[in-house]
Amino acid sequence: TSFIAKSKYRLSDLTDEDLGYVEGDHKKPGRSIGGMTRSRRQLYQAKGIPRDKSFLMAGKYLIEEMATWQYPFSFIDFETIAPVLPYFKGMAPYELVAFQFSHHVLHENGRVEHASQFLKIEPGVCPNESFLVALNESILENGGGSVFRWGAHENTVLASLLKNCPHVDAPALQPLLNGGEHAMVDMSKVATKGYFISGSHGSSSIKRLLLPTLQASLDLEKIYGNPSYTSDNFTDMQWFQKDKNGKVRDPYEILVEQESVSAIADGGGAMEAYNILQCQNVSIEEESKSSLLCSLLRYCELDTLAMAMIVQAWRGFLSENLQI
């Protein structure tokens, strides 16, 4: 309200003082444990970054943070739903159902592989226990290194499932929770403290960061600029593409373009697909069901691949000393 009273209606109207930014405030005790402060990010969003740069990195913070990570890097992403009307007997309204995960691994030599995936959509059968068993097995088989999530969701889901399924033998999972001896790294927090890129609208959402990061990274163009990505869900896929005007394309748009009918490109679409597959009173043709399953698998896989891409780009930027 005070800004409006001062006839300041746009971000560009705000001064450093309006945003509470003082040069060097990131060094003040208690303001931030390394990295960019909130006021610094607000300043970049309001005023932009130097015209000769497409992004800024808190290099010292990122170097120190990434030095604590251990290979192989595991990137995990969950798809869940919390329906008001439970699908399964004995469950309460809004009780969490975890029906899918994807797990990518980035090795020290730079090799990326889609290590495993889980999707259980059988109507009337709660997937939660199977989810925990499969995830535990995947972490044990591909673990030993740091495990990454993007945001609080995976930690919240895992804590809830372990609490509600205490009889499930999943020893590799409890240590991944906040405060655990092998706690997951929240890449969203790392991105917020260490990375600001034009085109992301100041957001640290992975879907906001991915396209501008692809545009800025020569490493990602080199790695994904050929039809060479192959997994259980993709064959000879080229994730780095340019349109006829020479602009880099969003991989999530490429994903939608690849689908015939039931394209899924966000978590809401995944929940909707799972809901359709659980509704036993809804008739669905086998071809449509198969298409939904394929779309679910491909979407979740791209989410964890995107996490690996971001880390690959950061490594490249830091090696080229492209930082603040």
In this structure, are residues 164 and 94 in contact, taking their beta carbons and an 8 Å threshold?
A: no
pLDDT for 28: 41
pLDDT for 289: 83
Report whether the peptide linkage leading into residue 171 is cis, meaning its omega lies within 30 degrees of zero. Answer: no
User: How far is residue 195's CA from residue 323's CA, in Å, rounded to a whole number?
Assistant: 9
Is residue 59 classed exposed, middle or buried when 0-12, 13-18 and 19+ CB atoms within 10 A define those classes? middle
In sequence order, the 6+-apart residues with CB closer than 8 A to the CB of 272 are none
**Length reported for the chain:** 324
Which residue has 């990122």 as its token pair?
62
Q: In which residue ranges of the chain is pLDDT below 50?
A: 25-32
